Structure 1
């Protein structure tokens, strides 16, 4: 099987009441851990690269790593997705360079500019059978080059979604209903709460249309505690409760993005290893358990949140 786009994935997910995991990748161990978990659980997967990942690993290395995963797992549907493409030029570069799905993020732009540039991305992408995600509303938090202060965050306006999708032709839509980028999503004492009323209204206005949630890591406490136990200084962080995400996955949400939880699991594993083996220096020795930690996290997300096991 070659790399696929997200069209068939999302059709099946919408009809089946589950979501596909979109996991951010930065290096070989992360790609391996994610795809090993998905292969064992027979779950479709989206491997996505941010601007930061492309800068760190280079576009070519990331594409070749994902292509290697396809060779290793020929029966597994794998899409390669650009996360938060800030411009038409970046999206075009990824389409030309082998990505099968791109996100144009014009959420910080005036509405008409967002529509115009998203339409331009769609016109180019669809010539090459590449699917396009766009965003309405703005999530608070920080992820690589994306940084939105709390007072600048905006819930998605359901009154705009039909016009936006009709005029742009996008294949999926990321909406803001209370998720947030990064590990530090909420202020002390603030209770996480997803606006399911907005999700339901959007779904009613776009029947059958796939919705995406960004900023959906749950910041599992055991990994924050492990990092602190082995020399870290992370304050308490509160993520999105997994039962809320699971509910969203049974509704119109077909793609859930997960990044921070992978970073926490991997970092906690590396810190633990060095605390227990301070004299070791072979990268293979500490990256193997780190890869296993990624695999375990993805297995957990597939079964506890996404519901996509056995859907490959």
Structure 2
């Protein structure tokens, strides 16, 4: 199936009550792992790049890879700009064939967030490109997305924002965090707040900062010289509960990185005479693929490609 608009993924997920996995990539290995996992699980996915991924690899390479293989897979997928910080970033994504964007002005005053988001919608909607925005702020840092302050979303303001902008999806801050070190104690997601946001907006909702930070990968990284003691993520049961309450897109980045790096560290320790990077990268890519499949099943999107 060809590359599709994020609007279609959001609409189907909202209608049928599941979440589409949104997986970040910045190289060929991650992209291949995500698409192969989606194909095997018969699941729709968002392929995401951040501004820092674009700065690292170049948008012509990232978008070029996706467009080069878009007819090689039978599952629907969208190419999404994650955490776009400016209208210029959105325009660049449009130029290179992205089918979904996020404009993130959540760290700006509410009025500025609303006005800029409305402008982005006016640019993207006529082209069939979906627009995601964020209200509230998540603590933590991941891929140059950083906040030291947590501000949870106001459900009434979310309704006003949705009506005032015409967005296709909203990422409400409900207590998750970016990065591998999400929580100092037990995770505390505000499910009641999430329920009220869904009730008031009826929009597809997006969960950021939702990686599980699985112990086996953290442990392996630490075993082979890493320093990730105390890293913890969102329990799978909490993700399931959030989907039941109206989450329709779940972002996943940290879990893919942990799977990739843990495998690389182990392989480089065990294969000390090897100088062929493919011998390291392929097993790491395969481990990323397994994590993507695991997350797709968690989100309830396995087999949902048949809905498109």
Same fold judged by TM-score > 0.5? yes
Question: Residue 193 of structure 1 corresponds to which residue in structure 2?
Answer: 188
Corresponding residue for residue 286 of structure 2: 292
> Cα deviation per residue 1:49-74 (whole Å; 9 max; x = unaligned)?
0011101110010001112332321x
Is the contact made by 1:19 and 1:250 (CA closer than 8 Å) also made in structure 2?
no
Hey, what's the Cα distance between the residues in 1 that align with 2:193 and 2:296? 25
- Separation in 2 of the partners of 1:203 and 1:172? 11
Residue of structure 2 in register with 1:128 after alignment: 127
1:54 counterpart residue number: 54
Q: Deviations over 1:164-222 (max 9, x none)?
A: 011111110001111100001112xx110211100110111112x10001111010011
Q: 1:306 to 1:69 in 2, by over 3 A?
A: farther
**Structure 2 residue aligned with 1:108:** 107
Judge conservation of contact 1:5–1:79 (CA < 8 Å) in 2.
yes
- 2-side partners of 1:47 and 1:9: how far apart? 12
Partner Cα distance (1:72, 1:147) in 2: 36
Moved more, 215-224 or 247-256: 247-256
2-structure distance, mates of 1:235, 1:111: 37
Single out whichever of 76-85 and 4-13 deviates more from structure 2: 4-13
- Stretch moving more, 6-15 or 83-92: 6-15
2:210 matched to which residue of 1?
A: 216
Please give the per-residue CA displacement for 1:243-288, whole angstroms capped at 9, x wherever unaligned: 1101212221100000000000000011111111011111111110
1:177 matched to which residue of 2? 174
Instruction: Measure, in 2, the Cα distance between the counterparts of 1:164 and 1:101.
Output: 19
Q: Please, what is the CA RMSD of the aligned residues?
A: 1.0
Tell whether the 8 Å contact from 1:179 to 1:215 is kept in structure 2 after alignment.
Answer: yes
Partner Cα distance (2:14, 2:168) in 1: 13
User: Displaced runs of 4+ in structure 1, greater than 2 A?
Assistant: none
Q: Which residue of 2 aligns with 1:119?
A: 118
Aligned to 2:12: 12
Residue 75 of structure 2 aligns to a residue in which SS? coil
Secondary structure at the aligned position of 1:309 is classed as coil
Deviation at 1:236, TM superposition (A): 2.1
The reply to whether residue 167 of structure 1 matches residue 160 of structure 2 is no
Aligned residues: 305
* Structure-to-structure mapping, 1:269-280, within 5 angstroms: 269-280=263-274
Q: Distance in 2 between matches of 1:55 and 1:7?
A: 26
Secondary structure, aligned partner of 2:152: coil
**TM-score of the superposed pair, with normalisation by structure 1:** 0.96
Query: What does residue 268 of structure 1 align with?
Result: 262
Aligned residue for 1:71, secondary structure, equals coil
Of the three residues 127, 139, 157, the one matched with 2:154 is: 157
TM-score (norm 2): 0.97
Q: What is the deviation of 1:94?
A: 0.7
